[in-house]
Structure 1
Amino acid sequence: MSWAFLIGAGLAEMIAVFFMGKSKGYQILKWSILSIVTFALSFYLLSRSLETLPLGLAYSIWVGIGAAGGVILGMLYLNESTDRWRIFFLTLIIGSVVGLKVIA
């Protein structure tokens, strides 16, 4: 169950970062509120996963899911760059998260 909490926390982090981008620096109320709520959900789910998972493992996977997901959502919906170097480094982040899960 801890892994489900951790994956949920990462997905909530990814969505919160996306909402933060849509809020234009927390100037648009709707997106600002959604961002804060999903960040809170992310922290709650992360704390639940930490009941049994080691801190270093859980935190690095949580950050990886949030960072990679945020980049992907930005490229898909916020017209951010999709150049080959971004894709290359995004692949490294995803590979690192998968590698941490495999060795855990």
Structure 2
Amino acid sequence: MPTKNSDRARAWLVLLLAGAFEIGYALSVGGSEGFTVLSWSLVAVIFFLLTLFALSVALRTIDVGIGYAVWAGIGAVGAALLGPVFFSETLTPAKSFWLTVIIAGVVWLKLSDRPKQTKEPSTPLATDHSPETTTR
């Protein structure tokens, strides 16, 4: 039977995959030129369905706010870094700085998503105040 840690690790891997699909979706939407290029449009629809499916699987385990923010951050950074590779976009030092800020935020979000520690219920030491043991 899988442990909670392995379930969480698997969810984070699926979230990374969802982020990769989101990058593919963003780039293919850009290439579709407003959904006027059929090949890019079909690829965009496929990536859209894949990213939503993977995101929904990851969010079964990861908190929605954290998961969505990480997913969106991966998509934004990936599209911004790969935009100049596939299209005639620019990556300036200012853009690079702010992308670094987004990456740092995503890393901090991941680090903040630790499983909650549950305390064991404390047992009474020497005193028992149940009605059966209390005498008047």
* TM-score computed with the length of structure 2 as normaliser: 0.74
Specify the structure having the higher radius of gyration (Cα): 2
Q: CA deviation at 1:48?
A: 0.3
Q: CA deviation at 1:81?
A: 1.3
More relative contact order, 1 or 2 (CA 8 Å, 6+ apart): 1
Share of identical aligned residues, percent?
36
How large is the Cα RMSD of the aligned pairs?
Answer: 0.8
Q: What is the letter of the counterpart of residue 84 of structure 1?
A: P
- In 2, the alpha carbon distance for the partners of 1:32 and 1:47 equals 23
Gaps of at least 5 residues in structure 1 are none
- The residue correspondences of 1:11-90 to structure 2 (distance < 5 A) are 11-90=20-99
Runs of 4+ in 1 over 2 A off after TM superposition: none
Gaps of at least 5 residues in structure 2 are 1-9, 114-136
Deviations 1:11-66 (A, max 9, x none): 00011100111111110000001001101100000000111111001000000000
Q: Could you say which residue in structure 2 is the equivalent of 1:98? A: 107
- In 1, the alpha carbon distance for the partners of 2:60 and 2:96 equals 34
Q: Which has the higher helix share?
A: 1
Q: CA deviation at 1:79?
A: 2.1
- In 2, the alpha carbon distance for the partners of 1:20 and 1:71 equals 13
Deviations 1:67-96 (A, max 9, x none): 110111102221211211111111111111
